[in-house]
């Protein structure tokens, strides 16, 4: 069993100087919800979600042990991370199959990356940990 990140990247229209993007079609929203439900039913879902626009991001750095923030995303380009799932899959082929279903649900290509084994254990432990 290995853990994988399925990520959705899209052009942030405001950062690309394009007209505002419309809300996703109701069909896409329903398809993504059904995909997430299928991951959950199969026991493959570790965590996931959609993200607020990149303009709402904060870059956090540490100076002399004190955190400071800068408004905006870490990456300045117009293409930004918009949603993600962390999944557990039996092998790479199974992860590719899930990623294919994610792409179909999103009506958009997705990126699939395996987590290092230590990161996967940490992610699973954090998700299973009680809220503080």
Q: Where are the domains of the chain?
A: 2-115
- At residue 128, the pLDDT reads 60
Cα 80 to Cα 54: distance, rounded to the nearest angstrom: 7
**What single string gives the DSSP state of each residue in 6-62?**
EEEEEE-TTTTTPPPPPPPPHHHHHHHHHHHHHHHHHT-EEEEEE---GGG-EEEEE
Cα 49 to Cα 36: distance, rounded to the nearest angstrom: 9
- At residue 73, the pLDDT reads 84
- At residue 74, the pLDDT reads 85
Cβ neighbour number for residue 72 with a 10 Å cutoff: 14
Contact by Cβ (8 Å): 124, 13: no
Cα 114 to Cα 123: distance, rounded to the nearest angstrom: 12
Task: Write down the CATH number for the domain with range 2-115.
Answer: 3.30.70.1060
Question: Low-confidence residues of the chain, pLDDT below 70?
Answer: 12-24, 118-132
């Amino acid at each position: 069993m290995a853990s994988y990140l399925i990520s959705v990247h899209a052009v942030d229209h405001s950062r690309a100087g394009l007209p505002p993007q419309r809300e996703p079609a109701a069909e896409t929203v329903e398809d993504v919800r059904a995909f997430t439900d299928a991951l959950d039913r199969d026991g493959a879902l570790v965590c996931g979600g959609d993200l607020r626009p990149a303009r709402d991001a904060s870059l956090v750095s540490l100076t002399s042990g004190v955190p400071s923030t800068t408004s905006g995303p870490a990456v300045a380009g117009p293409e930004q991370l918009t949603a993600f799932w962390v999944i557990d899959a039996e092998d790479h082929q199974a992860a590719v199959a899930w990623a294919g279903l994610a792409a179909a649900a999103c009506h958009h290509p997705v990126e699939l990356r395996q987590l290092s084994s230590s990161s996967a254990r940490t992610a699973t432990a954090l998700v299973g940990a009680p809220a503080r």
